[in-house]
Amino acid sequence: MRKTGVLTAGLLAAAMTFPAFAQMSVEDQIEARQAAYQFMSWNMGKIKAQVIDGEVAFNADQMMAAANAIAATANSGLGALYSPESAMDQADDTRLKPEFFEQPEKAREVGGNFVREANKLQEVAATGDQEALASQFAAVGKTCKACHDNFRAD
Ligand code: HEC
């Protein structure tokens, strides 16, 4: 009995600390996905600075760290942050178009393309090949844009 009580209390504490553990509020979903995209954007920027613009000297370890962060975020199950109630026709402070839920095949396609290219970015970054990384950076960027063009309001 006592043991169960302690366990339950522990689970409740975990649920309060980590929103994903329980049903997340729409506000939390929006905040978390916006933060995830900002974080990926920051890491994409690091890659761009080194392999596209050449403003920063190429550093293979930094490129691998950036690509790992992007791939990990892409693979973290971002779909859980997309409930129909979190689209801009029902919620505030978001640019998610309701079309995301009206065109589930398209949403799956753009999401799947993005995850695939993000995983490839991680593989390419691990090789330290600067030119291959530049071209894979562009491939990932295209998948970001494809989703924005379809499902993000201006
Ligand atoms: C599956 C679709 C999808 C993919 C893939 C995607 N995005 Fe987005 N992105 C969105 C949506 C939808 C929003 C708006 C989120 C909101 O306002 O709730 C957004 C918002 C953003 C924002 C603004 C975040 C904020 O603070 O409001 C940035 C920056 C961004 N994305 C960058 C990226 C980058 C970089 C990639 C690729 C590495 C990417 N996105 C991939 C759908 C996507």
pLDDT tens-digit map of 15-46: 556 655 567 999 999 999 999 999 999 999 99
Domain map (residue ranges) of the chain: 24-151
* pLDDT tens per residue across span 40-73: 999 999 999 999 999 999 999 999 999 999 999 9
Q: Is 78 in the pocket of ligand 1 (CB under 6 A)?
A: no
pTM here is 0.90
Q: Is 96 in the pocket of ligand 1 (CB under 6 A)?
A: yes
Q: What residues contact 17, with CB distance under 8 A and at least 6 apart?
A: none
Could you give the CA distance from residue 139 to residue 146 in angstroms, rounded to a whole number?
11
Could you give the CA distance from residue 50 to residue 63 in angstroms, rounded to a whole number?
8
Q: Is 140 in the pocket of ligand 1 (CB under 6 A)?
A: yes
pLDDT of residue 1: 47
Residue 96's DSSP bridge partners are 152
How close is the Cα of 154 to the center of ligand 1, in Å?
A: 11
> Which residue did the predictor score with more confidence, 18 or 114?
114
Topology of domain 24-151, CATH: Four Helix Bundle (Hemerythrin (Met), subunit A) (1.20.120)
How many beta carbons lie within 10 A of that of residue 45, not counting itself? 12
pLDDT of 2 > 70? The answer is no
